[in-house]
Structures are given as structure tokens and as C-alpha cells.
Amino acid sequence: MSLEQLNAYCTSKLAELKERGAHRGVEKVIAQITLPDWVRNGRLPTPAEDENFGPRYLLASDEKAYLLMNSNSYLGLALHPKVIAAEEEGVKHFGTGPGAVRFISGTYQPHVELEKRLAAFHGRASAMIYSAAYATVMGVLPALIDEHTLVVSDQLNHNSIINAIRLSHSAKKEIYPHLDMAELERILSTYSSGRNAAGEPEIKRVLVITDGIFSMRGDYAPLDKIVAICRKYEQNFAEGIITVADDSHGVGAFGQTGRGTEEYTRSQVDILIATMGKALGVNGGYIVASAPVIDYLRQVSPFYVYSNPITPSEALAATGSVEILESKEGLARLARLRELTARFENGLTELGFETIPGEHPVTPLVVRDTQQTALLIEYLFQNGILATGLNYPVVPKGDEEIRFQINANHTIGDIDYLLSVLKNFLAHSRSRP
């Protein structure tokens, strides 16, 4: 069968993406990582080592060493020798893949042990792992939303949440402006007394869904306020109000012990979704909730039932990451992450750049101009720094930014070098006619 027509369609759509500035460009291919001894040995740097550089990344396209400022591996655990050793040991014992979905023959002891560990870590009765956090969101939300459900979502929620809601057959969908708690309350109040033509309640269940940390900005949802508002109105709905948070960027990177936005806001939602592919440095996503909810999802969630899980070796590696996170070393890495983030944010402010302050290691440099964002990204690349520019339509016009992400394997030398490059960019920009 000829692909000529489809090729023409795809080519035209690619041209449209480029025209709109939505084309993501060619992916950079990492060919090698060079590690200082302290990273290779699984420790934090000494004061003297902190003045030098951390890991450097070599691309397949050239031989230059780059500072990676756009990784989600916030604690640096993807390069930790204990995590690597756990995965290697898992491969030796269980092979490279599970070989089947969970309910056939793909459930291994490391999967079960990891789920127990994650449930305990978050203070929940039960947990369930998926192949990715995106798959978790897509597998969970449609299973909990039906034709009598009102879904209420933050305006800046992640793409996975947006698409999961689109796949769901909800009665109604409402979106409140980012972090606007007054509008959230207004929505719940409005629907509390809503009835259909037969006089029956139009909405039986409400599902309020939010990111914990918003990945483009590094700010957080006030889960304590969200939970309080939902409790205020839950008695008005026959099946109550379910609060759900996807804290993929928060777990392992936010809160004193790395338990994310729930810990930071001193609250707990009904259902928490997170990932092992960011701060834990491995792969996969998961949900923690009550035992009946997890038991139900194991039976009906297609992204669980019909998709292979992470490998047993990945499960062992993720368990190793959680063990590190819960140890003194984990607390030290979290403290270091906060210190490096504060150093960078303060440096940006001193240089006159706009940012969104906060403890989370996602630190945006708000440019508010597409052309300037592109120029700065290219300047950083020329100076050996890999960073991510976010332009319209990924972000609204006027909100263009560069998203920097700090991790515990960065050094003070890395942060100061990045700030010096940004300072030089300002000088070059001012000297241009």
C-alpha cells in the first residue's frame, strides 16, 4: 500500500508545527557520561570537590562535554552505585524483562516488595506500579470517572491528566484558573444543588485532580486548601468528592523527607500518583490509595491489565532508591538540593532575571519573548550547557521561559559557571546594536 498521501499529510503537519513554533527540533543524543570520583562512589562532594564540576555529558554529534540542566533525576540516584548494583543483580536473577503482563506471569517478587515499600513510604494501605507515570494517570482516571462524575482540573495540569480526562466519559468537566481556590470552591458550590429534569442529582461523584508540583513552573498545589474545600462540599454528593494528585515532580524532591507536596502542605489526598522515573532515577509510575481502590484498578485498568510492568531489575533498583531516600544520605541529598536551588535562584535574582521562587529544584528563567528564549538557549548550548526552552504554544504567549532543573550531583562550581554564562549573555545582549 502506498504511503504517498500519508507522507504528504505528515510533511504538511510538520511544516505547520515549525510555523507555529511548536516543533521540538531534533533530539540530542547522549553518547557518554563522565563522572567525578565522588559520584562514582555514591557520596556527596567535599568542599574542595564542590568547587569543581560534576558529571558531564557527551553528545553523539560532537565531542564537547556539557552540563546537563534539564534532567528530572533530582537526587542524582540514576548514577548511584547502589541503585546500579541493585538493577544489575536483578538482571542476573530475573533476566531483562518480565515476559508477560502481571495477571499472566509477569508479577515477580521485586514488584510486590516495591509496592509494599511505596505504600508504607506514603502512609497508604496499598500501592500499584505501572510502566510509566503517564500510563498511571491514563489507567487510573478513566476507571474512576463515569457518566455521573464531575471532573474538576487545574488549568495548568500535565498533558497526561488532560488526555486522561478526554478519554473519560464524565458528566461534566470544569477547569479552574491555576491555583485559584476561590474558583474551585465556586464550582463545587454551584454543582452541589444541581439536579436534572427528573429532579435527580445530576452529579453523584466529583473528582478533583491536580498536579502536586507543576513541572513548567516549579510551584505547588495547596493540597491542604484543596482537601479542606472538598471536605466542605463532599456531603452534597451521593458518592462524595475524590481528591487526586499527580506528584511526579514532587516525590523525592520536595518536602523535608522527600514525600512531596503532601508533606510540604501537611495534608493527604485520597489518591496519589507519582513516578520512579524522576527523583528515584529508575523507570515506571505508581499509585497509592486504599486497598479496595487498588484491588479494583488491578481488575479494570487497561494500562495495568494489558501492558507489561517495569522489569524486575528496575523494581529492585527503585526499591534501592527508596531505601536511600529514607536514610540519612537521602536527607543529606535533599538538603543539598535545597541549598543548590537557593544559590541558583538568588543568583538569577541578583543578575536581574525573573524567576518563580520556591524550594522545588525546577527553576524557571522567565524570558517572556520567543526570540530571546531561542537566542539564550543557543548561547547556553555554545557554552556547554543543555537546557530546555519553552515557547508558545507549550506555554502561553508572554510566559516563554527556560526551565532549569537542579540535581544533587550538581556542584557549586556548576551553578556558578551557569550563572557566569548567563551574566555574559546579558553583557552581549546589551552590547548588540
2 C-beta neighbours (distance < 10 Å), count: 6
Q: Of the residues 274, 304, 326, which one is the last residue of a structural domain?
A: 326
- Domain-located, residue 10: no
**306 shares a domain with 199:** yes
Residues 48 and 171 in one domain: no
- pLDDT tens for 216-227 read 899 999 999 999
List the beta bridge partners of residue 59: 30
pLDDT-based confidence at residue 398 (cuts at 50, 70, 90): confident
Q: Which helix (H) or strand (E) holds 230?
A: helix 223-233
Where do the DSSP E strands lie in 202-310? 205-211, 241-246, 271-275, 285-289
Sheet holding 385-386, edge to edge: 30-34, 56-59, 65-68, 385-386
Whether 5 is in a domain gets the answer no
- Return the pLDDT at 396: 77
Q: How many domains does the structure of the chain reveal?
A: 2
Instruction: Indicate whether 191 and 311 sit together in one domain.
Output: yes
Element at 224 (helix H, strand E): helix 223-233
Strand intervals (E) in 330-425: 354-355, 362-366, 385-386, 388-390, 401-405
Task: Residue 340: give its domain's CATH number.
Answer: 3.90.1150.10
Q: Compute the C-alpha angle 154/156/161, nearest 5°.
A: 75
Establish if 35 belongs to a structural domain: yes
At 426 the pLDDT is 93
CB atoms within 10 A of CB 397: 11
348 and 295 inside one domain: no
Integer-rounded Cα Rg, in Å, for the chain is 23
Q: What rounded mean pLDDT belongs to the chain? A: 94
Q: What range defines the domain where residue 310 resides? A: 84-326
Cβ–Cβ under 8 Å, residues 101 and 257: no
Asked if residue 138 and residue 156 are part of one domain, the reply reads yes
Average pLDDT on 350-378 reads 93
> Do residue 322 and residue 335 come from a single domain?
no
Of the candidates 143, 130, 156, 167, the one whose C-alpha atom is nearest the C-alpha of residue 213 is 156
Q: What CATH number does residue 256 fall under?
A: 3.40.640.10
For residue 191, give the 3-state DSSP assignment.
Answer: helix
Q: Which spans in 21-100 are helix H?
A: 37-40, 47-50, 81-94
Catalytic residue numbers, as ranges: 215, 249, 278
Residues 24-82 pLDDT 10s: 788 899 999 999 999 999 999 999 999 999 999 999 988 899 999 999 999 999 999 99
Of the residues 310, 326, 342, which one is the last residue of a structural domain? 326
Q: Is residue 75 part of a domain?
A: no
Question: Could you tell me if residue 330 is left (phi over 0), alpha (psi between -120 and 50 degrees) or otherwise beta?
Answer: alpha
Query: What is the tens place of the pLDDT at every residue in 112-130?
Result: 999 999 999 999 999 999 9
Query: Is there a domain that residue 205 lies in?
Result: yes
